[in-house]
Amino acid sequence: MLSKKLQDTINEQINVEMWSANLYLSMSVFFAKEGFGGFAAWMKAQSKEEMQHAYSMMDYVIKREGTVTIGMINVVPTGWGSPLEVFESVYKHEVHISGLIDKVVDVAASERDKASQDFLWGFVREQVEEEATAKEIVERIKIAGNNGIFYIDAQLGQRK
């Protein structure tokens, strides 16, 4: 059974994951409108991944006899600048999410809930990958410049 403190913290993270899903979906729409189909597809896949994080956390709370509370999801931005600026925002956002996940793990540790710590470590490991991927895309866009942007767009469009 989850403590109230940990349950509330995980519920907050569920809502953060849902907001992130909306953020990436909005970025997908932005890229589609700008003619970057590959970037749009990558962002849509990222949106689905963030929702999967929320679903996994919801399932976990329920399995641990907790109560899932879906809060209001705030509005996300709808416009950005260049593809580089968008992916720099993605990287900053993923770093921010990593910090929030770390805080959830800290609460699980303070509550001495080893099962939750084990469950949450999966998200910590995934965040490391998400940060690294976002940073790599930023670096690739910087190297490619305007002449290579459509090549990178095509590459990222292969993500399923």
pLDDT digits (tens, 9 = 90+) for 9-54: 999 999 999 999 999 999 999 999 999 999 999 999 999 999 999 9
Asked if residue 72 has pLDDT above 70, the reply is: yes
Q: DSSP assignment of 37-71, as one string?
A: HHHHHHHHHHHHHHHHHHHHHHHHHHHTT------
Asked if residue 79 has pLDDT above 90, the reply is: no
Prediction pTM value: 0.94
CA distance 116 to 94: 22
Asked if residue 160 has pLDDT above 80, the reply is: no
Q: Looking up tokens 């990593």, which residue turns up?
A: 98
pLDDT on residue 159 = 79
Angle among Cα 75, 49, 95 to the nearest 5 degrees reads 70
Fold category of 4-156 in CATH: Ferritin (1.20.1260)
Domain boundaries, the chain: 4-156
pLDDT digits (tens, 9 = 90+) for 94-149: 999 999 999 999 999 999 999 999 999 999 999 999 999 999 999 999 999 888 89
